[in-house]
């Protein structure tokens, strides 16, 4: 937790109720330890989509299809979402097929680094929530596919706040991700192609507008 748990709990208590089908998925994710976007991050993501009013959304990292349905539920956009983990795909296929917004969601199965090579775009909104160590590798594909003024929202960028400390302060197995995420954040905050702000919301979210 990056911010005070009590503050987060209070803010989340003010949130509007999710549609029943999303609430059911959120409960499933908690019971089965499936990582989905946190409540406070959900609120920010939905606000940004309502403000941006995108028509073509790209999501990298479907998991069980919660965030794809969330984004479709607050917009008229078509959502293209990519997932490669078979155990997640099984649930995602079912959940999207049964969803009232499923007709506006296209699930693409495979490694995003490969399937993105064939994508044409353009997309006016991108949500990145996949393998954290691959964020910097995804970026060239994302930049090619984003139109001018498009918004990139990247989740889980602060790693429970550990990213602010030394790599030697985290477990050895986490050091590669720690270094790669720092490289990613440095790049998106120092490139002339993006205007980026990083917020301590959820597990950290980066908002980047293509210039």
For the chain, what is the total number of helices (H) and then of strands (E)?
Answer: 8, 7
Domain ranges of the chain: 5-210
- Domain 5-210 fold: Rossmann fold (3.40.50)
Tell me which of 196 and 33 has the higher pLDDT.
Answer: 196
- Please report the pLDDT score of residue 47 as a whole number: 96
**SS3 assignment, position 83:** strand
Lowest mean pLDDT among 15-24, 68-77, 131-140, 172-181: 172-181
Q: How far apart are CA 125 and CA 134, in angstroms?
A: 19
- Please report the pLDDT score of residue 3 as a whole number: 66
Structure tokens at 94: 């079912």
Mean pLDDT of 48-76: 97
Q: Is the whole model's pTM more than 0.75, yes or no?
A: yes
């Amino acid at each position: 937790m990056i911010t005070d748990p009590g503050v987060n709990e209070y803010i989340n208590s003010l949130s509007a109720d999710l549609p029943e089908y999303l609430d059911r998925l959120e409960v499933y994710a908690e019971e089965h330890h499936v990582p989905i976007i946190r409540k406070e991050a959900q609120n920010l993501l939905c606000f940004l989509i309502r403000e941006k009013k995108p028509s073509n959304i790209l999501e990298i990292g479907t998991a069980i299809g919660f965030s794809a349905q969330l984004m479709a539920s607050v917009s008229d956009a078509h959502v293209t979402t990519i997932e490669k983990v078979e155990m997640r795909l099984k649930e995602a296929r079912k959940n999207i097929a049964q969803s009232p917004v499923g007709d506006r969601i296209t699930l693409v199965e495979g490694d995003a680094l490969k399937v993105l090579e064939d994508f044409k775009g353009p997309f006016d909104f991108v949500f990145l929530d996949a393998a954290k160590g691959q964020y910097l590798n995804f970026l060239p594909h994302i930049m090619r596919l984003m139109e001018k003024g498009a918004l990139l929202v990247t989740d889980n960028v602060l790693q429970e706040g550990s990213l602010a400390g030394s790599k030697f302060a985290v477990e050895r197995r986490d050091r590669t991700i720690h270094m790669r995420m720092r490289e990613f954040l440095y790049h998106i905050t120092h490139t002339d192609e993006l205007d980026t702000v990083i917020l301590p919301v959820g597990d950290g979210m980066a908002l980047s507008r293509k210039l």
